[in-house]
A and B are shown apart, each in its own frame.
Chain A
Amino acid sequence: MNFETLYHEHKKLVYNLALQYVQNSEDAEEITQDVFVAIHKSLDSFKEQSKLSTWIHRITINKSLDFIKSKQRKKRYGNFISIFTENTNEIKYEKPEFNHPGVQLENKEALKQLFKRINELSDNQKTALILSKIEYKPQAEIAEIMNLSIKAVESLIQRAKTSLQKKININEGN
């Protein structure tokens, strides 16, 4: 398949999935670029053992998680450096603000709070929850994307929901 055709067929999928991970349009754009560069690099080696969309989902998830980890590393490094350079005017890394273009204004504050709690979940729970509750993927497809059994996916979603509910209840109690 031509790379340009592939891009136009899957750009929405990649950009939106990245958005669910980082909730920021600029970061999602950067991840989308990383994903398509990686796809271009390994398109010839794609063996069609899995569906193309499954493969693209996997790359997007991995790139999104890598992006978040690299940002966290930068933040930690920034904090470490700031101990030694307290009174400088250097730009420090700050967590990007919630800027999700798919969220309507009236839901913005509530979804910001909800995503704050989703971001505290483990990578697997977060992925299963995003694919199931935002992307509306059936459990069989999630299992294929995550390379897990359907039972494992079911359990991940259940644990994610329970953990999230606990976090919400704790916050409401305060």
Chain B
Amino acid sequence: MNSNNKKLSLDLLGQIHKVDAPPFLFTRIKQRIENTCTSRFSLKLTWSIGLSFILVLALNFMVINKRIHQIRSDNTLVNTFNLMPDNSLYK
């Protein structure tokens, strides 16, 4: 049997003393609070918003580009077969 385990009991918890907080803790807390106030948005958040914005712009550009390409190919087809582009017969 381990000699250390002989002493193990909940009563041991009563022998823990209260200690004082480290002396310069308040200065560090104040520093952290000031830093939080100056940078409301974290670097991670700024980057993710920036990247999302670029992604949305890129997707928009792709969709617009595709649409333009489609309109061009439609016009080419109409011109090739001499088709009327609309339904008004009496123009």
Contacts and interface: CB of A to CB of B under 8 A. Distances in A.
Q: How large is the interface on A (under 10, 10 to 19, 20 to 34, 35 or more residues)?
A: 35 or more
Shortest Cβ-Cβ A-B pairs, 5 listed: A15-B21, A11-B21, A110-B7, A102-B17, A133-B13
Contacts, number: 89
B80 interface: no
B18 to A, nearest CB: 5
B5 A32 contact: no
A40 interface: yes
Interface of B: 1-2, 4-10, 12-22, 25-26, 28-29, 32-33, 36
Secondary structure dominating the interface of B: helix
Interface of A: 4, 7-8, 11-12, 14-16, 19-20, 25, 29, 32-33, 36-37, 40-41, 100-104, 107, 109-111, 113-114, 133-134, 161, 164, 168, 171-172
B12 A107 contact: yes
B38 to A, nearest CB: 14
Nearest to A165: B10
A15 B12 contact: no
A54 B87 CA distance: 78
Contact of B22 (A20, A29, A36, A40): A29
A167 B20 CA distance: 32
Nearest to A101: B19
